[in-house]
Amino acid sequence: MKIKTKDLLTLGELDKKEIVELVERGIKLKKDLKNGINRPFLKNKSLAMIFQKPSTRTRVSFETGIFQLGGYALNLSVSDLQLSRGETIQDTARTLSRYVDAIMARVYDHETIEILAQNSDVPVINGLSDTFHPCQTLADIMTIKEKKKKFSNLKIAWIGDGNNVCNSMIYGCSKLQMNISIATPKGHEPDSRVVKQSKKFSSIELTNNPITASKDADIIMTDTFVSIHHKNSKRLKKFFPRFQVNSSLMKNAKENAIFMHCLPAKREQEVTSDVIDGSQSVVWDQAENRLHVQKALLISLIPL
């Protein structure tokens, strides 16, 4: 299965059918791997990975994933590259695309990944920018499919910061007709263009009340209150403790609701340990599914 877009930068590029097919393929690859079946779909293909910011899951899941597919990854921190001495993003993209079969980058400014994609002949994948995290949402949708067996008639509640993970979640989950309710402090709402575009696919409610958002939810999702790119140490006060996911907030959701978090978590800030370690939490499945769904993505994007 091939997807129409050359690059994956936001998740807004994919239609419902493409998202569902990627997730189904991720589920199949997961099952195969557990049964000892590991086909070299990307034999000798290479993936350049550029990191402007730290990462545990993104780096290890992409590197392991392409290796399992018969290819290999080059891990390039910015200090290893001439980017650190002023070579432009454009020239870096042109050069790398003469050597490798795909580029995955984790960047600060989202425009950086757009410039990389515009100047690269090979697919570019966003491994998190300040405004989007599409690979995380693909893994989250795969996890929802595994746990809930369906997408429609589900209510997903996002509690906390309307950040990069939230923006991609809105793009992906709205196309699957999930009802979305987002509780943030005033001034920390998700990107208004993303919300506007996504409202044509499903209902999206914005509120400042975590209790309203979590009411009868099937999925409670949160993320750190202080992302890597946030410099303001005072921002925590706007979120904590009102937007914390704790056992009392979880009680507003359905009895069989699941708790999701992209990780890394700041325990006792956005989520209490009893919730993240509790029986409703699926956070380790989410982390694992990055590996499987990104393998599906690499197979779909990299020309053979």
Which residues are marked as active site?
A: 106, 133, 136, 223, 262, 290
Question: What is the residue type of 203?
Answer: S
- The tokens for 70 are 């018969």
- Regarding 223 and contact with ligand NVA (CB under 6 A), the answer is yes
Question: Coil, strand or helix: which one is 179?
Answer: strand
DSSP H helical ranges for 156-282: 164-175, 192-198, 210-214, 236-239, 247-250, 273-276
Residues numbered 19-78 forming contacts with ligand CP, rule: CB under 6 A: 55-58
Q: Which of 46, 52, 126, 136 binds ligand CP (CB under 6 A)?
A: 136
- Regarding 262 and contact with ligand CP (CB under 6 A), the answer is yes
Residues numbered 93-132 forming contacts with ligand CP, rule: CB under 6 A: 128
Q: Which of 92, 164, 184, 214 binds ligand NVA (CB under 6 A)?
A: 164
Partner whose binding site includes residue 175, from ligand NVA, ligand CP, none (CB under 5 to 8 Å by kind): none
Q: Which of 169, 245, 178, 186 is nearest to 211 (CA)?
A: 245
Segment lying near ligand NVA (by CB under 6 A), choices 146-154, 186-194, 222-230, 288-296: 222-230
Partner whose binding site includes residue 56, from ligand NVA, ligand CP, none (CB under 5 to 8 Å by kind): ligand CP
Angle, nearest 10°, between helix axes 134-148 and 164-175? 50
Segment lying near ligand NVA (by CB under 6 A), choices 89-97, 113-121, 183-191, 220-228: 220-228
What is the edge-to-edge ordering of all strands in the sheet holding 124-126?
Answer: 72-77, 46-51, 102-106, 124-126
Q: Which of 32, 44, 39 is nearest to 304 (CA)?
A: 44
Contact by Cβ (8 Å): 127, 117? no
Q: Please state, in angstroms and rounded to a whole number, the distance separating the CA atoms of residues 55 and 122.
A: 23
Q: Please state, in angstroms and rounded to a whole number, the distance separating the CA atoms of residues 174 and 199.
A: 7
Q: Which of 95, 227, 246, 252 binds ligand NVA (CB under 6 A)?
A: 227
Partner whose binding site includes residue 223, from ligand NVA, ligand CP, none (CB under 5 to 8 Å by kind): ligand NVA
Question: Coil, strand or helix: which one is 91?
Answer: helix
Peptide bond into 264 cis (omega under 30): yes
Site mask, ligand NVA, residues 252-271, x = CB under 6 A? ----------x---------
Question: What phi and psi, each to the nearest 5 degrees, are found at residue 56?
Answer: -105, -60
Site mask, ligand NVA, residues 93-132, x = CB under 6 A? -----------------------------------x----
- Contact positions vs ligand NVA (CB under 6 A): 128, 163-165, 223-224, 227-228, 262
- Contact positions vs ligand CP (CB under 6 A): 55-58, 128, 136, 262-264
